[in-house]
């Protein structure tokens, strides 16, 4: 099931639809009707975005009909915390 590396974009979309058909319980708020695939480990870290072991259902395209959260969107905005550059010695006056 997982581990196929020859998925086209079309196959990827179909795989995601099938994944959500099998389980649509949002892994963030725990309510059903999830509509996007969230990646448990950030894909930016070299994780294959098509690795289904790294997939979890989440609300994103539309808000959760149960609690009204935009789960995947919230998560994105919360994790994009800009790192404060405190190492700059801007106060040095010598
Ligand atoms: Zn949710
Ligand atoms: Zn919810």
70 SS3 class: coil
Task: Tell how far the Cα of 2 is from the centroid of ligand 2, in angstroms.
Answer: 27
Give CA–CA dist 39/46, Å, rounded.
Answer: 12
| Nearest bound ligand to the CA of residue 27 | 1
Neighbour-count burial of 59, counting CB atoms closer than 10 A to its CB (0-12 exposed, 13-18 middle, 19+ buried): buried
Task: Tell how far the Cα of 91 is from the centroid of ligand 1, in angstroms.
Answer: 45
Please give the model's pTM, rounded to 2 decimal places.
0.67
| Nearest bound ligand to the CA of residue 34 | 1
Give CA–CA dist 26/58, Å, rounded.
Answer: 4
| Nearest bound ligand to the CA of residue 74 | 1
Instruction: Identify the pLDDT of residue 80.
Output: 41
Task: Tell how far the Cα of 91 is from the centroid of ligand 2, in angstroms.
Answer: 47
Instruction: Identify the pLDDT of residue 88.
Output: 45
Task: Tell how far the Cα of 87 is from the centroid of ligand 2, in angstroms.
Answer: 40
Average pLDDT, 10 consecutive residues per value, the chain (94 residues): 63 92 96 94 82 93 94 64 44 50
**CB-based contacts of 62: which residues, under 8 Å, 6+ apart?**
35
Residue 38 CB coordination number (10 Å): 19
């Amino acid at each position: 099931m997982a581990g196929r590396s020859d998925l086209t974009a079309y196959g990827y979309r179909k795989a995601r639809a099938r994944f959500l058909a099998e389980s649509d319980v949002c892994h963030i708020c725990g309510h059903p009707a999830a509509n996007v695939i969230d990646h448990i480990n950030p894909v930016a870290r070299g994780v294959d975005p098509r690795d289904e072991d790294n997939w979890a259902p989440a609300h994103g395209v539309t808000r959760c009909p149960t609690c009204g959260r935009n789960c995947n969107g919230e998560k994105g905005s919360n994790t994009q915390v800009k790192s404060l550059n405190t190492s700059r010695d801007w106060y040095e006056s010598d």
